[in-house]
Amino acid sequence: MREKLIERGLLLVALSAVATIFIIAYFIFREGVPLVAKVGVWDFIASAQWAPGKGRFGILPMIVGSLEVTVLAVIIGATLGLSCAMFLAEFAPRWSVRVLKPMIELLAGIPSVVYGFIGVVVLVPMIRRAFGGPGFSVLASAIILGIMTLPTVIAISLDALHAVPPLYKEGSLALGATRWQTLYRVQLPAARSGIIAAFILGMGRAIGETMAVIMVAGNALTLPTSLLQPVRTLTANIALEMGYASGDHQAALFATGMVLFIIIAILNTIALAVTRPRT
Amino acid sequence: MPTPLRYFVALACAALLSLLGCSRGSKNALTVAGSTSVEPFAELLAEHYMAIHPGSEISVQGGGSSAGIRACQNRICAIGMSSRELHDAETSLVEIPIALDAIALIVNARNPVRKLTLVQARDVFAGRIRNWQELGGPDQRITPITREEGSGTRASFDEKVMVAGMPRGRDGKAEPAALAPDALVQNSNGSVREIVASDPAAISYISSGLVDERVAAVVLDGVAPTETAIRSGKYPVVRRFLFLTNGEATGAAREFINYVLSDSGQKALAEEGLTRVR
């Protein structure tokens, strides 16, 4: 009886998490869909004119901006993160792993507003001096986001590398391959699906990040054509304007959230498909 | 209903009830809600007022001018705050101007350009003037920074600066010039000032009470945003901070408004950088 009670209780609590996602999706879509229907799907996602006060709702610059910043951030995060994971998994002496791993985990605990603040005070003026332009740019956002994705990318790809059966490594070494050859030709391919999942989860983190991006992106409404131009992401659009929005403007922000939701759902589906063990 | 489910429902109901009970609060509290620009000043005044009148309770909430106006219309709060003028549909409310706030155009302290005409300012923000050289400054691209769509400061700026020299429509009102799409957007006076203080090429606008030595306020059409110029109406970009009531204020609301309009209330506002209305 007691057993059953606990079991049912846990089930309910577990279901509540799933229910939350459905409730959130329901409310976002309920608010957003009517506006998109009114404006037209095509005009909403393919027009570059955003002026809610004048009834123009085009979020193309934000979609492009979000993707551009995210892809760049993942490239930065993947390069640095995977190298770091490879080092930690194979080459780092035992003591340095004990020091480095907690430090990387600490990186995940720094609030995003702090990253943004460092971006504004250090990174943005640096970019302004080095390359010209306002400094608030795609580049600044991508660098900040790239650093923010590091803990995710490192932790998950490290797990993936550790999950490779030691037999593979031993076999390769026994055949006379060097450690680098073994890592590069045997362990990395074996951990491939886990590493790709790490990149995709890092991408999810990057696309959803808001505060730090608002602070360094400049939030202009143009389609960014160069790395040094300011950019506005989907999340920034919602956070910037929600304070004052009402009526259609508010609905348009919900619709922006809807697009974001769909993009993230697609990313997660890809992550699931990639990580599913091949049968 | 199976037993465990019943437990959960009972628990959930209890939690809900206790939440409702807490949020109701004291009955004598006076609620002031609305504009985030007016909010810090109203908070300050409320603190002063509660210090002089022990036992009184005033709670000040933000939410934006439009939210404040709606809350006042629906009698959710006793006093609404607005940093913009009322629209035609909102004029049923009683408006009590409590202070004037000038919006200063600011540039970096190192920028030699200190004088602009309204039309030049409009052209800078509309993206028609793109280099400081055209304004007598160094050969450097201008970085205009604006506030987010919906901001009261941005609305006043649009109404007063972006309409300068624009053709008037049939109703006598001019349509504001469109903002340059590549203008940076920041969502607070603070971050705007921070950027202008660090970027020599930047120009933006903030509440004049917040101008400090790291940025310079531009002389607009020959007038600097000084107190006399603001009060006489010579400085072109001034907005009113309004308290709103639904019908004539009575009781606690009346007393608080009287305090705000009194000499000590007005002095407190002036010390914070606003301009007195009395």
Confidence label for B19 from pLDDT (cuts 50, 70 and 90): very low
Q: Does B201 touch chain A (CB under 8 A)?
A: yes
Rounded to two decimals, the ipTM of the complex is 0.82
Q: pLDDT averaged over chain B?
A: 86
Minimum Cα–Cα distance from B146: chain A residue: A220
Query: Which candidate in B74, B148, B153 is best for mutational testing of the A interface (most A CBs within 10 A)?
Result: B148
**To the nearest whole percent, how much of chain A has pLDDT over 90?**
81
Token pair for residue B31?
Answer: 């609620």
Instruction: Please provide the DSSP assignment of chain A as one string.
Output: -HHHHHHHHHHHHHHHHHHHHHHHHHHHHHHHHHHHHHH-HHHHHH---EEGGGTEE--HHHHHHHHHHHHHHHHHHHHHHHHHHHIIIIIS-HHHHHHHHHHHHHHHHS-HHHHHHHIIIIIHHHHHHHH-S-S-SHHHHHHHHHHHHHHHHHHHHHHHHHTS-HHHHHHHHHTT--HHHHIIIIIHHHTHHHHHHHHHHHHHHHHH--HHHHHHHB---SPP-STTS-B--HHHHHHHHTTT--HHHHHHHHHHHHHHHHHHHHHHHHHHHHHSPP-
Higher pLDDT, A53 or B93: B93
pLDDT (mean) for B64-79: 88
Give the gap in angstroms from C-alpha B251 to the nearest C-alpha of chain A. Answer: 30
Under DSSP, the state recorded for B85 is P
CB-based contact A245 B150, cutoff 8 Å: yes
Does B22 have pLDDT greater than 50?
A: no
Nearest CA in chain B to A211: B187
Which tens digit of pLDDT belongs to each residue from B141-154?
Answer: 999 999 988 787 88
Beta bridge pairs of residue A201 = none
CB spacing of B185 vs A52 below 8 angstroms? no
* Residues A243, B185: C-beta atoms closer than 8 Å: no
**CB < 8 Å & 24+ apart, contacts of A226-229:** A226/A138, A227/A72, A227/A137, A227/A138, A227/A139, A227/A142, A228/A127, A228/A131, A228/A132, A228/A133, A228/A137, A228/A138, A228/A139, A229/A133, A229/A137, A229/A138, A229/B182
Given CB atoms, is B91 within the 8 Å cutoff of chain A? no
Say whether A5 and B66 touch across the interface (CB within 8 A). Answer: no
What whole-number percentage of chain A has pLDDT above 70? 99
Contacts of B257 (CB under 8 A, 6+ apart): B79, B96, B243, B245, B249
CA of A61 vs chain B CAs: smallest distance (Å): 11
Nearest residue, CB atoms, B181 vs list A4, A134, A221: A221
Structure confidence by residue, pLDDT tens digits, A43-66? 999 999 998 888 899 999 999 999
Distance from CA of A146 to the nearest CA of B (A): 22
SS (H, E, C) A152-206: HHHHHHHHHHHCCCHHHHHHHHHCCCCHHHHHHHHHHHHCHHHHHHHHHHHHHHH
On the question of pLDDT at B231 being above 60, the answer is yes
pLDDT of residue B23: 40
Read off the pLDDT of each residue in B37-51 and give the average, rounded to a whole number.
Answer: 91
CB-based contact (8 Å) between B57 and chain A?
no
- CA–CA gap between residue A20 and residue B214 (Å, rounded): 47
Q: What pLDDT band is residue A6 in, cutting at 50, 70 and 90?
A: very high
Q: Which pTM value belongs to this model?
A: 0.82
- Residue B60 pairs in a beta bridge with B32
The token pair at B84 is 């913009």
Buried b (16+ CB within 10 A) or exposed e, A67-99: ebbbebbbebbbebbbebbbbbbeebeeeeeee
CB of A118 less than 8 A from some CB of B: no
CB-closest option in A53, A230, A245 to B184: A230
* Model pLDDT, residue B10: 54
pLDDT digit string, tens, across residues A229-253 = 999 999 999 999 887 777 899 999 9
Q: Choosing among A244, A253, A256, which should be mutated to test the B contact, i.e. which has the most B CBs within 10 A?
A: A244
Q: Is B123's pLDDT higher than 50?
A: yes
Min distance A220 CA to chain B CA atoms (Å):
5
Q: At what angle do helices A247-275 and A60-86 cross, to 10 degrees?
A: 30
HSE-CB of B243 using CA atoms within 13 angstroms: 25
Q: Say yes or no: A12 contacts chain B, CB-CB below 8 A.
A: yes
Report the pLDDT averaged over residues B167-194: 87
A220/B182 CB distance under 8 A: yes
The answer to whether A219 contacts B181, with C-beta atoms less than 8 Å apart, is no
Cα torsion B201, B238, A240, A59: sign: negative
Assign B278 to helix, strand or coil: coil
Collapsed DSSP state (helix, strand, coil) of residue B203? strand
Cα–Cα distance list, A53 to A217, A224, A250, B150, B164 (Å): 23, 23, 11, 8, 19
Tell me whether A229 touches chain B (CB under 8 Å).
yes
